[in-house]
Amino acid sequence: MKSHNEMSVTQLDEQLRQTPFHPRQQALNVRDDWTVWNGFKFANSYYDAEYEYFCIRNSCATYDICPMQKYYISGKDAEAMLNRMVTRDVAKLNVDRVTYCCWCTDEGRMIDDGAIFRLGPDSFMLTCGSPCVAWFKKSAFGFSDVTITDMSDNIAALSFQGPTSCEVLKKMGLDGIETLKPFGIMHFPFNGDDSKTLMVSRTGFTGDLGYELWIAPELALDLWDTLYSAGEDYNIHPYGEVATNMARLEAGFIMPGLEFNEALKTVHFQYDHTPFQLSLGWLVDFKKPHFNGRKALLKEKQQGPEYTLIKLDIEGNKSAEEAYLYNNKKCDTHIGYITSTMWSPIVKANIALAMIETKYLKGDIWAEIYYTKELRHHHIVMKCTVVKKPFWTPERAKITPPLKY
Beta bridge partners of 371: 378
Question: Coil, helix or strand for 301?
Answer: helix
Domains assigned to the chain: 4-68+154-251 (3.30.1360.120), 306-387 (2.40.30.110)
Q: Are 385 and 325 in contact (CB under 8 A)?
A: no
Structure confidence at residue 258 (pLDDT): 95
Structural contact between residues 278 and 314, judged by C-beta atoms closer than 8 angstroms: no
Q: Under a CB-based contact definition with an 8 Å cutoff, are residues 344 and 351 in contact?
A: yes
CA distances for 265 relative to 111, 189, 211, 256, 272, angstroms: 8, 41, 31, 11, 9
Dist CA 92 CA 82 (whole Å): 12
Angle, helix 49-58 to helix 241-251, in steps of 10 degrees: 50
Q: In angstroms, rounded to a whole number, what is the distance separating the alpha carbons of residues 345 and 246? A: 9
DSSP 59: S
How far is Cα 293 from Cα 394, in angstroms, rounded to an integer?
Answer: 35
Shortest CA distance to 258 belongs to which of 334, 354, 347?
354
Question: Rounded to 5 degrees, what are φ and ψ at 403?
Answer: -65, 145
CB 129 within 8 A of CB 68: yes
Note whether 294 and 286 are within 8 A (CB). yes
Containing 288, the helix (H) or strand (E) segment is none
The reported pLDDT for the residue numbered 11 is 59
Alpha-carbon distance of 161 to 2, in angstroms, equals 42
Say how many CA atoms lie within 13 Å of 181 toward its Cβ.
Answer: 4
β-sheet with 110-120: strand ranges across: 97-104, 110-120, 123-128, 69-74, 147-150
pLDDT of res. 5: 46
Decide: pTM greater than 0.85: yes
User: Could you tell me which of 113, 121, 44 has the C-alpha nearest to residue 76?
Assistant: 121
pLDDT at 195: 87
What SS3 class is residue 392? coil
* CA separation for the pair 220, 378 (Å, rounded): 49
For 152, counting Cβ atoms within 10 Å of its Cβ (0-12 exposed, 13-18 middle, 19+ buried), the class is: middle
Residue 191 pLDDT: 87
For the chain, 405 residues long, the average pLDDT of each consecutive 10-residue run is 46 84 97 95 96 97 98 98 98 98 97 98 97 96 97 98 98 97 97 91 98 98 98 97 98 96 90 97 96 97 97 96 96 97 96 98 96 93 97 96 94
- What order of strands is seen across the sheet that includes strand 156-161? 185-190, 193-201, 210-215, 156-161, 61-64, 237-238
Question: Bridge-partner residues for 357, per DSSP?
Answer: 307
